[in-house]
Structure 1
Amino acid sequence: MAGPRKDTRGIVDPGELMARVRFRRFEAARALRPYVENYWFIDWDLDEPYESRVVPHPSVNVVFQRMEGRGDFCVVSGIGMDLFAIKLEGVGRVCGAKFRAGLFRAFHGGHQAELTDREVPLGEVFPGTSEAVARVLGPDDERDRVAAFDAFLLGLAPASVDPVAVRVGELVDRVRLDRGLRRVDEVAAVAGTSVRGLQRLFAEYLGVSPKWAIMRYRVHEAVELAGPGTDWARLAAELGYSDQAHLVRDFRATLGVSPAAFVRASTTRG
């Protein structure tokens, strides 16, 4: 499998974030790569608070966090439906594992909608794992943190990969990469199933609808391409929207502001 992606898609104002924190991605152990897309580590030492904002991917994350004033803790973060914002201050670190779409179900069986839009303490999802928090967050050497993360997840990994989960993950990747897939019925045709069948698969293995997944990836692209002089009507057409108004609606629903207001704010910050 290819190594961690280099893009910053989903991060709102990545230049601003990278100027304030150390952000890195790492590959998981080979046996974990069918499930884990990458580890992502953030370390910071800030003179003043900074709010990081992310438009979440349709993926579950296991996130170990060291936050000033909160100590060390870990959560299983289900797919976030809305913009995620967190205030970083003082000195801290985060060590996260981004699972491939649909593949967290191999570690945590059951309907994945139970995790959607929730952050669940690690011990509630995986009882008896509290010692992992210190092991992952403790080492100063990031290679030791990667090794500790590997050891933790390898202890939970299933004996074999669910082929249905793999297929769902492939479909989500196809949606991410292929702008030509603009409607749920088109994705269902690729999957060789009915629209209802596709909706059931996504609900069980992802916890979100295929329509939502399509929209989320298109909003990711819109955020990445937004800038002064953007032709929003043209961009809407390129992203598969029937008109500019539908793109603006989805953008506002996710970011909380219109594309024009987002660009103005970004230009002001720059």
Structure 2
Amino acid sequence: MERDPRELGGAWRASQRHAFAAPSGELARYVARYWTVTWEYERPYRQLVVPLPNVHLSFRDDRAEVHGPSSSHVYRELAGAGSVFGVAFRPGMFRPFLGGPVADLRDRMVDAAMVFGPDLPSPGDVESVERFLLARLPAPDPQADLAARVVAAIAEDTGVTRVDAIADRFGLSVRRLQRLFADYVGLGPKWVVRRYRLHEITERLAGGTDIDWAETAAELGYADQAHLSRDFRTIFGEPPTRYAQRYELR
């Protein structure tokens, strides 16, 4: 299939704008960031969206939706002019708002009213969203805090490539860690480890770094390059070398 040239070399920046804002102090325990995407396309564009283990509350037009954690990439069609405003919750910290296992939201989108009730805030207004969430702050949940700390450790420590190693660090059995992630993160710890290690590849690609794929596979805990490529394609939608074409040449 012929590739859309708007995917290549950072050309998407001509038609999209991304902005981010930090939450207030009280909400920083639960919210990772606020984000806004605006676009304008004369003809529809097939946007690749790659997953991270966050739950999102999004506002687009007159719709408010909760998007559970995705186990794989998805595509969204962007057409004409539009925008979406979103709240990215810290992995592990949406469970207290939901009142049930986050695994129930895996690979799903639900109407935000099903979680928060009908009196939703104005879309795209950070202050009203903050007031809305502050009025609904859940009771402290030590298990949510634990799940968030484990995910943060996986994200920050590039040496973490094994689930048993991160379980040992936090004094947990692998089975208990798996149950904690199903309840609070919605994705398994093995998936989370793989996702953050593969993210390091995209960071290197974005920086124009030449990559020795066999060496990188071993460094990230893969048996061989083929296994790395398979996981990368599942999560990012393309083999690593094809995905690299999305970045500007340096």
Q: What's the TM-score once normalised by structure 1's chain length? A: 0.82
- Mapped to 2, the partners of 1:106 and 1:117 lie a distance apart of 19
Q: 1:195 to 1:38 in 2, by over 3 A?
A: same
5 Å-filtered alignment, 1:97-176, equals 97-129=87-119, 131-132=120-121, 135-137=122-124, 145-158=125-138, 160-176=139-155
- Mapped to 1, the partners of 2:155 and 2:222 lie a distance apart of 15
Q: 1:220 aligns with which of 182, 187, 199?
A: 199
Query: Does structure 1 residue 52 correspond to structure 2 residue 47?
Result: yes
- Mapped to 1, the partners of 2:99 and 2:224 lie a distance apart of 39
Deviations 1:234-267 (A, max 9, x none): 221232323212211101222333223333x537
Structure 2 SS opposite 1:242: coil
Query: Does structure 1 residue 236 correspond to structure 2 residue 217?
Result: yes
Q: CA deviation at 1:220?
A: 1.8
1:23 — aligned with what?
Answer: 18
1:182 — aligned with what?
Answer: 161
**C-alpha RMSD of matched pairs (Å):** 2.4
**Structure 2 runs not aligned, ≥5 long:** 1-6
* One-letter amino acid matched to 1:157: L
Q: 1:191 to 1:268 in 2, by over 3 A?
A: closer
- Preserved contact between residue 44 and residue 93 of structure 1 (Cα < 8 Å): yes
Query: Does structure 1 residue 88 correspond to structure 2 residue 106?
Result: no
Q: CA deviation at 1:48?
A: 2.9
- Mapped to 1, the partners of 2:70 and 2:34 lie a distance apart of 18
- Preserved contact between residue 9 and residue 249 of structure 2 (Cα < 8 Å): no
Structure 1 SS opposite 2:94: helix
Higher relative contact order (CA 8 A, sep 6+): 2
- Mapped to 2, the partners of 1:192 and 1:13 lie a distance apart of 45
1:140 — aligned with what?
Answer: none
**Structure 1 runs not aligned, ≥5 long:** 1-11, 67-71, 138-144
- Mapped to 1, the partners of 2:9 and 2:88 lie a distance apart of 18
Structure 1 SS opposite 2:42: coil
Deviations 1:179-199 (A, max 9, x none): 211111001101101111111
* One-letter amino acid matched to 2:126: V
Deviations 1:200-234 (A, max 9, x none): 11111111110010111122222333468531112
Query: Does structure 1 residue 73 correspond to structure 2 residue 71?
Result: no
- Preserved contact between residue 55 and residue 220 of structure 1 (Cα < 8 Å): no
Q: What's the TM-score once normalised by structure 2's chain length? A: 0.88
1:195 — aligned with what?
Answer: 174
- Preserved contact between residue 61 and residue 96 of structure 1 (Cα < 8 Å): yes
- Preserved contact between residue 179 and residue 240 of structure 1 (Cα < 8 Å): no
1:249 — aligned with what?
Answer: 230
* Percent of aligned positions that are identical: 40
- Mapped to 2, the partners of 1:203 and 1:85 lie a distance apart of 25
- Preserved contact between residue 179 and residue 238 of structure 1 (Cα < 8 Å): no
Deviations 1:74-95 (A, max 9, x none): 1100001111221212121111
Q: 1:19 to 1:190 in 2, by over 3 A?
A: farther
Q: 1:52 to 1:181 in 2, by over 3 A?
A: same
Q: 1:151 to 1:228 in 2, by over 3 A?
A: closer
